[in-house]
Amino acid sequence: MSLPQFLDIEYCQTDDALFPTAMAWSLPEGQMKTVVIAPEDAWLPEDGDLGDVDLMYLEEQGVPVIELVRELHEDLSDQTVFVDGLDPDEVLVDLIFSAVRHEPPFEVAPISELITALDSEALEDRRHQLLVDEGLEPQLPENGVYALLLLAREEGYLNEP
């Protein structure tokens, strides 16, 4: 039996732009991958305003979208991938795949569809508390995935994160 898989996307959102900047996802064995994403030119606003996002860092350290899509195809195909349900993750996944004219090979679902014993508010409270307890910065996608793995472990879906 494979373990549930999780995904978290950090993103830039301004009045004129919404695009992913980093992503983390878990693998069936419980390991995790994380990447910084080089933005597509079409994602960038004409006025250049990206708020506090460092475009040079993304361009220098980020992986091209085509490489990210290849990795996601290899790791997540035919899976339901669970997210915290707070961010526009499904929109961001669609944006990534539409940049290379592909459909996502996986389904995105909120964690509340996996863990049904708690309501959405209780799930978010517990996820946030796990981040605090572990001393993790919530804006890092790998920490978001780790908190979801811990939450799934607490609810009996996996043995060790």
Whole-structure pTM over 0.75, yes or no? yes
Edge-to-edge order in the sheet of strand 5-13: 32-36, 18-26, 5-13, 80-83, 107-110
Per-residue model confidence (pLDDT) at position 3: 82
Check whether domain 5-154 has CATH 3.30.420.10, yes or no: yes
Radius of gyration over every alpha carbon of the chain, rounded to an integer in angstroms:
16
> What is the per-residue pLDDT across 104-152, written as a single tens digit (0 to 9) for each?
999 999 999 999 988 889 999 999 999 999 999 988 999 999 999 999 9
Residue 131 CA to residue 126 CA, distance in Å, equals 9
If one compares 139 and 48, the residue with the highest pLDDT of the two is: 139
Per-residue model confidence (pLDDT) at position 2: 65
Q: Residue 49, Cα to own-chain centre: how many angstroms?
A: 23
Summary mean pLDDT of the chain = 92
CB-based contact 27:5 (threshold 8 Å): yes
Per-residue model confidence (pLDDT) at position 47: 83
Domain ranges of the chain: 5-154
Residue 161 has pLDDT above 70, yes or no: no
